[in-house]
Each structure stands twice: as structure tokens, then as C-alpha cells.
Amino acid sequence: MKRTAISLADGRELIYFDERDDAVRDQPDRRPLPPPPPASQLRYDPLTDEWVALAVHRQTRTFLPPADQCPLCPSTADRLSEIPAPEYAVAVFGNRFPALSERVVAEPAAITPFTAARPGQGRCEVVCFTDDHDASFAALPPSRVRTVLDALADRTTVLGKLPGVEQVFCFENRGVEIGVTLHHPHGQIYAYPFITPRTRSLLDAARRHAERTGGGNLYADVLAAERATGERVVAANQHWTAYVPAAARWPFEVHLAPHRTVPDLPALTDAERDAFGPLYLDLLRRFDGLFDTPMPYIAAWHQAPVRVERELGHLHLQLFSVRRAADKLKYLAGSESAMGVFINDIAPERAAELLRAV
């Protein structure tokens, strides 16, 4: 893999991850761009002990443009995009409308004696999986999945070293039902200046388990139990297992986890990275085959924090969809949105059975 970094017209970094060593990436960004927006503001919610980002500049971000105006397609002589090159394999660049950024211009004052405020310092990046606007992740070859995985590992390492970054989150949103604003196959990376609520919850449970068991890793033990029963396992290979969690929140939810306990993507071996692609592609195609239509989904990489309690983590990918039937979506209503108590309409065992049957 060849890695080439350039600067876009407004100073944001773009990195090409090429599968050819002879790729030349010297095309300049010729757009007249305004300066990037300043960092958003984080406000502390004392009632939940959580931070909320206020990124008002994102209200004007690009929203479902037609294909001939897609900002993630390669540039042409007639249309300049975020990617100056006429073609590419995988490209990663700083989000033009970031929820978090390093462009801190001022320290905000507290909102109330109980509600602190701080700059939304961090970074948000866009990961383009292919230059083919009409493709999908499920249509990529395993070799391209490996390139994407290597790019995510690279960015996890680099972003994790930035001052103040506590957690790196890589993910893909697919489908208008999920809320995507660009159809081009792409994912995102958030480098947070705090540990997210979901990860804090996972760490708390893992810490209690380690104390009870004399150092056991909770996720590794749960994975071993799922592999032993096999009832909710959808697919597996030598290095990875895909299974429906016994207490799945979403109608169709699968965890894809390495058998070896590792904290994050950079810790994966070459063999583990190679084995991931074929299994993940199989899983995505099963999702699409459930109702013979492209499945809306979120694919979320759970990684250990970059600075603390890394021994409690266990890297895994959470893949889930809001679609519960061919013509029905799951909406987060009162119990889920207000109380955080999920109600699932499909038994995890049945979901695993349906996915295995595709």
C-alpha cells in the first residue's frame, strides 16, 4: 500500500491509500475554498455526566446532491471535488463540516454554574472506500477491504497521538433511512476529546467483570460463550466470528470480533486483516439478501480508548440495521429515546437463523 498526503485548497489534509506503488498523486486542489470553520463547542450535561457538541455550521453541509455533483467522486476537467485526482482507490480527508476540529479560536465561558463549556477539539475525517459512486461496501473485493482496514488502522494510530484525543471511532452509515447525506460509499472517523458514553458503559462492565474473575476480559468471555453455543453464530473463519448478541437491541444486529483479544485496529496481524474482508463481505451480502433490497445499516468499530484502560477493551465491529421487515423500520420511540431501554421485535436467535439462511 502506498500512502501519499497532500493539502487541499483550504489547508485540510487528504491522504491517498493506493494499491499500486506507481500511483502519482500530484494533482493540486484548484477550488477557491473559504477557510474551514472554527471548532464547535462542547457543553457538559451535569444531569447525565455527558458532553454534547454544538456544531451549528453543519446545518449548511451538503445534503444528498445529484450524482453529477457528488463531492466524493474524482475531479474532472469540468467539475472539481474534494478529491483532486481523476481516480483513486481509498482516500481520507478532513471533513469540510466537522463536528470536532483542531481550529480552536477561543475558550468559551461556562453556560451556568453547572454547565461547563469547552472547545470541540478533535478531528473528523471522511473515508472514501472507492471512486465508484454507484458501488457499495458489499461490492468491494477483499483486497480493497484490506486497504480500507489498513487505512483505518493508520488513522487510528495518527489521530490517537493528537493532543487531547481520548478515543478514535471509525464507522460507516449507509442508507437514507439511517440519515446519510451523501450516497457515495464512504465512512467517517471521529477523534473525540473524551471517552464516549457507550464506551464508558462498556468499560465499567468490563472492569467489574475483571474484578470478579481475577482479570478476565468480559468481551472475550462473552465471545467464547457465543462460539461454544453456536446458536446465534452467523458465520466464522479461523480468526473471526460473526454472531447476533443474545441481548441484541436492534432487529438485525451482528458483532464481528477477532478471536484474539486486541484493543484496536492497529493491533491486528496481517493474517487477521486478510481474514476480515471475506467474512465481512459475506455478512453484508446476507444483510442485503434478507429482504432483497439494499439494507440500511451502521457499521461501528468499538476500539479501546487510546490512553486509559486499554486492557479492558476487545476490538469488535457492531453492524446493525433499523429495518425490521421488508416494509417496516424500527424507530427509537419513548422507551428507547427517553429512557434508553430498547425493545426488540425480533428474537436474536431468529435473526441469526434468518441471516444464516440467506
302 is in an annotated binding site: no
Angle between helical axes of 197-213 and 218-229 (0-180°, round to 10) = 80
pLDDT category, 152, cuts 50, 70, 90?
Answer: very high
Q: Which residue has the higher pLDDT, 12 or 106?
A: 12
Q: Which helix (H) or strand (E) holds 151?
A: helix 142-160
Average pLDDT over residues 139-168: 98
70 is in an annotated binding site: yes
Quickly count: other Cβ atoms within 10 Å of residue 356's Cβ.
Answer: 13
- Residue 128 pLDDT more than 90? yes
Q: Is 244 in contact with 355 (CB distance < 8 Å)?
A: yes
Domain coordinates of the chain in residue numbers? 2-194, 198-357
259 is in an annotated binding site: no
Average pLDDT over residues 56-75: 93
The yes-or-no answer to whether 2-194 and 198-357 have a common fold is yes
128 is in an annotated binding site: no
pLDDT at residue number 344: 97
pLDDT digits (tens, 9 = 90+) for 306-315: 999 999 999 9
- Just list the catalytic residues: 186
CATH level 2 (architecture), domain 2-194: 2-Layer Sandwich (3.30)
User: For the whole model, what pTM was predicted?
Assistant: 0.97
pLDDT category, 60, cuts 50, 70, 90?
Answer: confident
Q: In CATH, which superfamily holds the domain spanning 198-357?
A: HIT-like (3.30.428.10)
pLDDT category, 3, cuts 50, 70, 90?
Answer: very high
pLDDT at residue number 79: 95
The widest CA-to-CA distance across the chain, in whole angstroms, is 64
Give 189's strand partners. Answer: 125, 170
Residue 293: what residue type? T
Question: Percent of the chain, pLDDT > 90?
Answer: 98
Q: What is the rounded distance in angstroms from the CA atom of residue 308 to the CA atom of residue 98? A: 25
